[in-house]
Amino acid sequence: MIKVGIIGATGYAGGELVRILLGHPEVKIIWYGSRSYIGEEYASVYRNMFELVEGRCLDDNLEELAQQADVIFTATPQGYLAGILTKELLAKTKVVDLSADYRIKDVATYEQWYGISHQSMELINEAVYGLCEINREQIKGARLIANPGCYPTCSTLAIYPLAKAGLIEMNTLIIDAKSGTSGAGRGAKVDNLYCEVNESIKAYGVASHRHTPEIEEQLSYASGEAVVLNFTPHLVPMNRGILITAYGTLKEKVSEEEIRSLYEEHYQQEKFVRLLPSGQCPETRWVKGSNYVDVNVKVDSRTNRVIMMGAMDNLVKGAAGQAVQNMNLIFGLPENMGLDLVPMFP
């Protein structure tokens, strides 16, 4: 039985980790970390856990937790883990970090976009970017996993086969993204109040969203060239879900059938990436509550552009589900263990 500790267990991603791990046959949660609710019953914070979780919220003592847990999930603000993680701690336990602290390999880029100094640069090269469908072999046996961001997961998986094949002009990429309000976290913010978001949609982080360099870096690895793109996220009045629509110019005339064959070949063995039938567009309602990413492509022969689409649940495949998928790989378990979550509808 894998002993698991969760730091940040009362945030949305942390709560989703608890929900998923309670159904995992090889896991026992031993630590519900929460700086805001220390000493309180976890089930009083999330009432859906009534009679399911008996534990109380503990502090974020990583030193003590590393002595007890086989793996620690850190669903914490940017900069937190980088400020306390050491090689000595990693010698005692595994860490799956849901923040951005180890996702970006270039420290200067991280510090520029996040506006903070990185406190453990010596660990960046060891960290494995935990996009399982791309870095599966590197993840196995790793000590430190940088769990990808939600927008980068959906964007990269929707674009990756074409970038890898070198069929699109990478400097023409534009990504239009939509997300539910849970992506902004559980903290109280005026901009996320019901009256502020209901019956409205808005762009935010225009030309400045922190997931931009993460997407660029991953697509640069895929294409073998430096990628600079436009990424614009939008907030929509729903609890969870991400939809991305990406546009890129094709380098040559390629039929939609050829591109679909490329996607079929790339994802045919991937349980959690579903290529939809031709002409069917991804929708967030068909992946809600699951670890699936639905993708599809459409060629616009009139403009010689390709439209790449993806939909997923930002709290599952975009955070907690992917973190569990990474844990399974680290410990040699079936990758889908605890993750056979049927999408919820309605």
Give the separation between CA 184 and CA 179, rounded to whole angstroms: 9
Of 150, 154, 195, 281, catalytic? 150
Cis peptide before 346 (omega within 30 of 0): yes
Q: Are 145 and 127 in contact (CB under 8 A)?
A: yes
Can you read off the two tokens belonging to residue 106? 């270039």
Strands 128-129 and 144-146: what pairing?
parallel
Output b/e per residue, 119-149; b: 16+ Cβ within 10 A. ebeebbeebbbbbbbbbeeebeebbbbbbbb
Burial of 179 (0-12, 13-18, 19+ CB in 10 A): buried
Q: Are 267 and 161 in contact (CB under 8 A)?
A: yes
Output b/e per residue, 279-305; b: 16+ Cβ within 10 A. eeebebebbbbbbbbbbbbbbeeeeeb
Nearest C-alpha neighbor of 132 from the set 343, 346, 329, 334:
329
Is 150 an active-site residue? yes
Report CA dihedral (143, 146, 147, 153) to the nearest 10 degrees.
-140
Give the separation between CA 276 and CA 174, rounded to whole angstroms: 22
Residues recognised as catalytic: 150
